[in-house]
Amino acid sequence: MALWVFSIIFCKTIVEYQYNVLVSATMTRVEMVGLTGYLYASAGALSSFLNAFGTQSLLRYVGLGIVLVMSPAAELAAAAGLALFPGVASAFVGRMLDLTMRWSLNNSAKSLLWIATPRAEQELAKPWIEGTVKKATGSVTAVAIGATLALTGGSSVAIALLSAVVAAAEANLMDRADRFVALVIAKLNRKQIGTWWKFSIQRNENL
């Protein structure tokens, strides 16, 4: 859980940084405000659609294991777009993808992980992950951005590649976490929190 949260925050901080740098360098303040308004409106609409119609279907038919992979995979796609096509358009799409996933599937998957965690472990882990890990990740990301810029002469592509490496590593870790996913599913089913949260362990083990 801590590594998953770390990777998502690390990558989203980088895409936010690149968006702000690229947009502020090519647009006036008024244009930037307008574009950011369209960004939040688009991400809000897409995440609302996913929450209303997509999340339940994805969890039911592809399984929790794939859903856990989708957030870092989306961050990887955003980073790859910025590395291959650095510019305002790719920054807009990357940030919209990041926001959409974090406001929909990412939140749902994280909620399920906490629900499956025993209360005693929640009391110990949640303040640390939601507090310390989140705050520390912001600092680590800032240092990583500064160091990368210093070592590469201010290359935005290098920052995007750094984000891509972290996202790819986390996506691979989640894809291999079969036993962890099976354990979470079993706990959710035992808690009987609703029929649409019941998943097939066999499906996830075969993916």
Helices (H), the chain: 2-26, 29-49, 55-61, 64-84, 88-102, 105-116, 119-127, 134-152, 156-176, 178-191, 201-206
pLDDT exceeds 50 at position 199 = no
Q: What is the pTM of this model?
A: 0.83
DSSP string over 47-99: HHHIIIIIHHHHHHHT-HHHHHHHHHHHHHHHHHHHHHS-SHHHHHHHHHHHH
Encoded amino acid at 49, one letter:
F
pLDDT exceeds 80 at position 175 = no
pLDDT value of residue 195:
44
**Cα-based distances in Å from 62 to 36, 37, 105:** 33, 33, 13
Query: Could you give the count of Cα atoms lying within 13 Å of 13 in the half-sphere of its Cβ?
Result: 21
pLDDT value of residue 137:
93
Higher pLDDT, 12 or 126: 12
As a whole number, mean pLDDT of residues 153-176 equals: 90
pLDDT exceeds 60 at position 194 = no
Cβ–Cβ under 8 Å, residues 108 and 59: yes
